Structure 1
């Protein structure tokens, strides 16, 4: 072998070792960088004609595992969906209050009943009569505030849908730009950026990634194309404020791609079923309206319990009693949104020009009666504690007292919160396991990379030694001339 061949081979080895060292150092430096995949340098023989004349770097590529990445994407979307639902359920549990909590719904019912009993035992006490009004007002206001808070949470979910759609569309635009790059510019850094964008989209709407020449296609879990050579953008119109009577399509916006309906829960064939967007649509269109339906049932039950003419013979026949919805007559059925207007009758509320003696003497009383007569208060207690047929979203096969009906709702919300929380924990655990499996296959193990650096150092030193010896031999030969 000639000196020139020897030097050429050794020099190519040095070059390859240098490139491998840089790639390995980059791996170590980015070991904790989110979305970074391990770089691998492929070295192959360099031929000149039939002869091997050293080595050359064929390419620098990312380590990928299509199966593990696909599985991780699916489980990430499921975790995002479950987390979104769990967060909404937790907020509802906070509104209702834990069973037994001082500020909880059931406690407000118990406080009102206790106030009635105290006043019935001492009907001449104006202080205790005021206590009944205060506790009744607190109960009605709490139900009203919970329903209005649910309206606000629906509006928040609607805004979050709009923001998520904007983020997805921005990521799609960038992916379209990356897809347009020629093969020579589709570097490992570009591939990592592309995967991070896909990860971000997938958290909001589940996608399957198809690798093609110099780019990718993205398909939603419902089978709609989000990205081919060009991006197909999501379409959604935020509502701003969301009222109790507003529903999907009337007038709340759904989700579409180029006019194709993919609204989660909308019944379309290509609807998306997981990810943050699906969770937010379920919160806006199902979880919160169901909660408000239960509040409407509670409000209607409270009004109707005291509206019976036998409960208060002094009031105008057929009109509402101790609780109203702001009108004079009790509701038929369970009116949508009645919880938003539940209030204690103004006739007994001093804050609205009423008088507390009407609790003792009846809504229709025009002047105070016998101060020691607690009959009317006892009729109120009987109405509050009597077993009545359940209605609306709280309908069951049995009957309930007012407090038992409130306990049913508290239990419903508590069970939902626990169920969604457990589902979220399970989904999160599976997603973390999938992430760890993918990282083990495609991420950076610093111990392995450090060992690789030692081998590269040895290869570099060996090639450098060859060049050194060749140089010495040339010097010796030149010295003989």
Structure 2
């Protein structure tokens, strides 16, 4: 190798060491910055000898990134369901709670038993009326809390859709900048970090799949294959609050809907699963329980005229099959038995339709109420709690179903969080900065710089010797 070639090779080595040290220093400086991916300094051999840094290479594992984002989506979907049902579960109460639905029903049954055993006692009659009022109030509270779950979920879906559309617009802008950046520049690496962070944020709301073209431009799809970002253009998600349907460019992408091309994981999917499946079923269960109470007391009271309301009413009216939806939000105790409303508790004994008090020892109707509450009756199969059960059995099943939904979502979120954290740690080990490794890199850089500097010094001494020899 000639002196000139050796000089050129050493000079390129010094320049490469400088670029290498800049990259390593940048890694150390950004080690604690979230979303920063470790940079490498790839080198290539130059013709005639020497090396050159070809750019900035991000340490990235596409499979780990996708796996981590899927876990983010799965955890977020369970967490939003658990959080949405937390307050409702508290309102509903456990099976053993005296102030929950099951407890209120048990209290009502006990109060009616007491009246049946001593029908002449006004205090026992008043106590039974109060138990009925508490039963109706607890049902309304449970229905109202479920309605709030639905309202909040629908508002959350709207917020999620707005957030997704805004994030997609930002991703498109980053996409354009990346595709316009030629070569492995530091700016390109920074833009890719920004894009990765935005995709992580998007994954909390919606599970997505990605692909890249030759220029580094990203395309984003739902797991069902509907395009969200394609050819530097974002497609807008649209939510119809009347039908609870989600569309993308006219294509149905509602999670949980057969044939739809949406994503089944993420916060948005969790909220929509509540709106389109869980909440309607839970509401039907409450309405069926309420219907059984209203109809049961009407059927057991032979003092009622046709179309007259019994002990429990639909806002003062008798039950109508056309008014089943939302019945639990409207149930009330008949004013005819309420002393505070001008009625009399004695009608609990003599019949809500009675116009005058009957024999004080007549417990026939109250015994009918007690028998009715313990008897098996028909329930809508769509409620999912059995078609023929006693009211107490149905109520226990209702509470267990609602509580289990919350508990299952919460337990799944905790379990999936461990998997998410494990994948996150694996991703960080590949893409994150290890200070110890970077310091070792600095030692190698120092050795490389010293070696090239020694060659340069030696070449200088050789040149000085040659010049001295010809003088």
TM range (shorter): 0.7 to 0.9
Map of 1:142-181 to 2, 5 A cutoff? 142-181=138-177
- 1:303 deviates by 0.7
Q: How many residues align?
A: 464
* RMSD over aligned Cα atoms: 3.0
CA distance in 1, matches of 2:251, 2:444: 56
> Residues 387 and 399 of structure 1 are in contact (CA less than 8 Å); yes or no, is this contact kept in structure 2?
yes
Question: 1:274 — aligned with what?
Answer: 265
Matched, 1:234 2:236: yes
Within-5 A mapping of 1:271-420: 271-308=262-299, 311-317=300-306, 319-332=308-321, 335-371=324-360, 373-394=362-383, 399-420=388-409
- Partner of residue 97 from structure 2, selected from 98, 101, 125: 101
What is the rounded CA distance, in whole Å, between the counterparts of 1:99 and 1:462 in structure 2? 78
Structure 1 residues 367-423: Cα deviation after superposition (integer angstroms, max 9, x where no partner):
444555544433322222223233454466664332222112112223333443444
CA change 1:30–1:106 in 2 (3 A) is: farther
Alignment partner of 2:96: what SS? coil
Shift of 1:192: 0.7
Offset of 1:252 from its aligned partner? 2.8
Whole-angstrom distance in 2 between the partners of 1:351 and 1:32: 67
Q: SS state of the match for residue 316, structure 1?
A: coil
Name 1:44's counterpart in structure 2.
44
Per the normalisation by structure 2, the TM-score is 0.87
Question: Which residue is 1:265 aligned to?
Answer: 256
1:77–1:275 Cα contact (<8 Å) kept? yes
Provide Cα deviations, 1:339-364, integer angstroms capped at 9, x if missing partner. Answer: 12111112112343322222233212
Separation in structure 1 between the aligned mates of residue 135 and residue 22 of structure 2, nearest angstrom: 69
Question: Equivalents in 1 of 2:367, 2:150: separation in Å?
Answer: 41
Match of 1:87 in 2: 83
Match of 2:226 in 1: 224
Residue 441 of structure 1: which of 430, 437, 453 is its match? 430
Match of 1:69 in 2: 65
Matched with 2:188 is 187
1:206 aligns with 2:202: no
Q: Structure 2: 5+ residue runs without aligned partners?
A: none
* 1:101 aligned counterpart, secondary structure: coil
Give the match for residue 58 of structure 1. 54
Contact 1:304 1:331 in 2 (8 A): no
Gaps of 5+ in 1: 240-250
Kept in 2: contact 1:233–1:258 (CA 8 A): yes
Cα deviation, residue 279, structure 1: 1.6
The answer on whether the counterparts of 2:244 and 2:276 sit within 8 Å (CA) in structure 1 is no
C-alpha deviation, 1:333, in angstroms: 8.0
Residue 334 of structure 1: how far off its partner (Å): 7.8
